[in-house]
Homo-oligomer: A and B are copies of this chain.
Amino acid sequence: MARIFNFSAGPATLPFSVIQQIQEEMADYRGEGMSLIEMSHRSKTFDALTVEAEARIRRLMGFSDDYQTLFLQGGATGQFAAVALNLGRSGGTADYVDTGSWSAKAIKEADKLNVPVRTIASSKETTYNHIPKFEWADDASYLHITSNNTIYGTQFQDFPDTGNVPLVADMSSDFYCKRFDPNKFALVYAGAQKNAGPSGVTMVIIRKDLLERCKDDIPTILNYKIYAEKNSLYNTPNTFGIYGVNLVMKWIEDQGGVDAVEKNNRDKAGILYDKLDSSDFFTPHATEDSRSLMNVTWRLPNEDLEKAFIAEALKHDLSGLKGHRSVGGIRASIYNAMPKEGVEALVDFMGEFERKNG
């Protein structure tokens, strides 16, 4: 059928030009007589692809050579353990800001692994509808934040200067959606499947001096130092995933870089939030000062109307709008690759639905 607008939270819509390129190159990768997915990760071609992707990711946001991009597996769930085990066993407590279910899981994981953890702020009592204020300890082993909260539709609007305390961010759901100062961060990680590529590959951008903290007594698969030394090729990586991420990052470049993508994201989110703000029928979940550019969440007057909204939307080729089971309601994920036309079609439909049912 015709391509629909897919508002899923992740895996999520990808640039159609990237999908088409993957399709074109699938059977014979650039004249090599085999598919990319059949190609040795030790081949010159794939090695060059990894080197290209590693540098492109840093270049797009201005990360210097003091940083290195790693391509790992296991998603944010793997990183919850990796961050704690690599960085959390020297210095004081590992300080966490609790801004949603995934933050809470990160905290629980570090605690389970006997890393001293402190939750320095939480918005749990208001169903995580905002990013709370927070202060960290000067001797914290690191400060961990979740920059965007997919389920609740909140996002950090700016990032703190943490001085000597390493700032660690899970950016799985807003990776490269807007400009940020890379020098504020010691480590950024993101599962690719929301804003950067296919699922099954996890990007870690780590400041290299942190590698000295990594001890050898943890599972190899979680050891940053080993993967950094081997340029992500200690064992077989998700080759298709790295290929896909590289294409999506190239697509960002082709759009004009992160700034161009950010402008488009602000336009798209603006259209949708304007609609929510101009109606009493739709009630946004996130407070205005914490709204996400990536995931927009709202409620309708009752659950029956929400069910009808989702079902009716699907008939208009607008899919993936059901809110996460833990909060209900509606969620529209409008990642980098969601075209403005998709958001406009959604807003049109919302108007129509309100007129009929409001």
Contacts and interface: CB of A to CB of B under 8 A. Distances in A.
Nearest to A114: B217
Contact of A11 (B16, B81, B222, B236): B236
A143 B9 CA distance: 42
Nearest to A3: B33
Contacts of A244: 37
B1 A200 contact: no
A23 B78 CA distance: 30
A322 to B, nearest CB: 9
A43 B22 CA distance: 23
Contacts of A320: 40
A279 interface: no
A235 to B, nearest CB: 4
Number of copies of this kind of chain in the complex:
2
A217 B108 CA distance: 11
Contact of A240 (B35, B109, B240, B317): B240
A234 to B, nearest CB: 7
Given A3-B28, A12-B38, A40-B11, A200 B33 contact: no
A2 B200 contact: no
Contact of A221 (B77, B235, B236, B241): B77
A51 interface: no
A6 interface: yes
A216 interface: yes
Contacts of A319: 33-34
Interface size class of A (residues with CB under 8 A): 35 or more
A163 interface: no
A338 to B, nearest CB: 11
- Looking at chain A's contact residues, the main secondary structure is loop
Contact of A27 (B12, B19, B201, B235): B19
Given A1-B32, A37-B14, A317-B33, A235 B200 contact: no
Nearest to A25: B23
Contacts of A81: 219-221
A55 to B, nearest CB: 22
A191 interface: yes
Nearest to A39: B11
A62 interface: no
9 contacts: A1-B33, A11-B239, A12-B38, A19-B35, A23-B23, A73-B78, A81-B221, A112-B216, A113-B217
Given A6-B33, A22-B26, A113-B219, 6 more contacts: A6-B34, A8-B38, A8-B39, A81-B220, A81-B221, A199-B238
